[in-house]
């Protein structure tokens, strides 16, 4: 399958599985990923998600250049919009998403990683937005999400030069949260996903929504939404259980998303 989904208790692992093309995305692959994300969104038993690439060379080497080479404007617009839909679906998932970047994250591959909530990298990971070397600008959100993560100056450097960023630099500039030896990457990503999954799914979804809004538009709108989302949590079973457990010095036991 071009996209594999595995489950381990409350953690889902989504694997981009086209290693013969270094997991580059054609339209079919994008559609499959979108379908997989929609299914995860509606599965309240999934509490965190890990996104990674098959094989040991690539997370995703971008959009499929061989397919793009044949496209005119209408096809490129549809393909660009599909990439946007996938990135937005990652961002809009109620569950936190961890990108486990095991190799090349180029172009659209880097842009999908940027749409995840957390990024863990293998020591072998390499990042780039090389689109300008192909005669196109970034098209799956890189111009918007990269400056928010690393700052506008560094984003301009990476996008205007297309240069490669090794894992060590990616950590230094805040492009990734942590770097691990290749064989530790997936276990560490799954362990982090498991720790996140132990928390209240309702509170995670509200936090994620508010964090997303923090980077959209003027901070006032995000702050106004944050206070509403914060207040909405009060009186829910998860809020009562989380706070009662603290007071009673025991681990909390949360229900499914929605606080049921």
Just list the catalytic residues.
111, 131
The window from 130-138, 199-207, 220-228, 231-239 that contacts ligand CO8 (CB under 6 A) reads 130-138
Site size with ligand CO8, rule: CB under 6 A: 22
The window from 28-36, 89-97, 100-108, 145-153 that contacts ligand CO8 (CB under 6 A) reads 100-108
Q: What does the alpha-carbon distance between residue 119 and residue 167 come to, in Å, rounded to a whole number?
A: 11
Counting contacts by CB under 6 A, is residue 22 touching ligand CO8?
Answer: yes
Counting contacts by CB under 6 A, is residue 108 touching ligand CO8?
Answer: yes
Q: What does the alpha-carbon distance between residue 164 and residue 257 come to, in Å, rounded to a whole number?
A: 40
Longest dimension (CA), the chain: 63
Bridge partners for 84 per DSSP: none
Q: What CA–CA distances, in Å, run from 255 to 32, 50, 193, 195?
A: 30, 21, 17, 16
Distance of closest approach, residue 209 Cβ to ligand CO8, in angstroms: 26
Q: Which is nearer to ligand CO8, 91 or 238 (CB)?
A: 91
Counting contacts by CB under 6 A, is residue 115 touching ligand CO8?
Answer: no
Beta strand pairing status for 3-8 and 11-16? Answer: antiparallel
Counting contacts by CB under 6 A, is residue 80 touching ligand CO8?
Answer: yes
Distance of closest approach, residue 242 Cβ to ligand CO8, in angstroms: 41
Counting contacts by CB under 6 A, is residue 179 touching ligand CO8?
Answer: no
Distance of closest approach, residue 185 Cβ to ligand CO8, in angstroms: 18
Give the contact letters, 44-73, x = binds to ligand CO8 (CB under 6 A), - = no: -----------------xxxxxx-------
Q: What is the 3-state secondary structure (H, E, C) of 87-131?
A: HHHHHHCCCCEEEEECCEEECHHHHHHHCCCEEEEECCCEEECCH
Q: Phi and psi at residue 166, in whole multiples of 5°?
A: -75, 165
Tokens 């025991």 -> residue: 250
Report DSSP state, residue 229. Answer: H
Counting contacts by CB under 6 A, is residue 83 touching ligand CO8?
Answer: yes
Interface contacts to ligand CO8, rule CB under 6 A = 21-22, 24, 61-66, 76, 79-80, 83, 104, 106-108, 130-131, 134, 139-140
């Amino acid at each position: 399958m071009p996209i594999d989904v595995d489950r381990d208790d409350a953690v889902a692992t989504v694997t981009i599985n086209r290693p013969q093309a270094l997991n580059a995305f054609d339209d079919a692959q994008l559609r499959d990923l979108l379908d997989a994300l929609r299914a995860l969104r509606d599965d309240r038993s999934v509490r965190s998600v890990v996104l990674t690439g098959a094989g040991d060379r690539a997370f995703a080497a971008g959009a499929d250049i061989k397919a793009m080479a044949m496209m005119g404007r209408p096809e490129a617009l549809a393909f660009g919009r599909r990439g946007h839909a996938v990135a937005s679906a990652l961002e809009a998932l109620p569950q936190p998403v961890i990108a486990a970047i095991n190799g090349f994250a180029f172009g659209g591959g880097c842009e999908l990683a940027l749409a995840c909530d957390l990024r863990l990298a293998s020591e072998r990971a390499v990042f780039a937005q090389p689109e300008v070397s192909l005669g196109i600008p970034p098209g799956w959100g890189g111009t918007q999400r990269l400056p928010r993560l690393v700052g506008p100056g560094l984003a301009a450097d990476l996008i205007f030069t297309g240069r490669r960023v090794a894992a060590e630099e990616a950590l230094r500039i805040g492009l990734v949260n942590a770097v691990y030896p290749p064989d530790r990457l997936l276990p560490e990503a799954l362990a982090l996903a498991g720790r996140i999954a132990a928390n209240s799914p309702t509170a995670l979804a509200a936090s994620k929504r508010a964090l997303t809004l923090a980077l959209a538009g003027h901070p006032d709108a995000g702050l106004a939404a944050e206070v509403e989302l914060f207040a909405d949590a009060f009186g829910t079973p998860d809020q009562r259980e989380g706070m009662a457990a603290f007071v009673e010095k025991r681990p909390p036991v949360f229900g499914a998303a929605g606080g049921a």
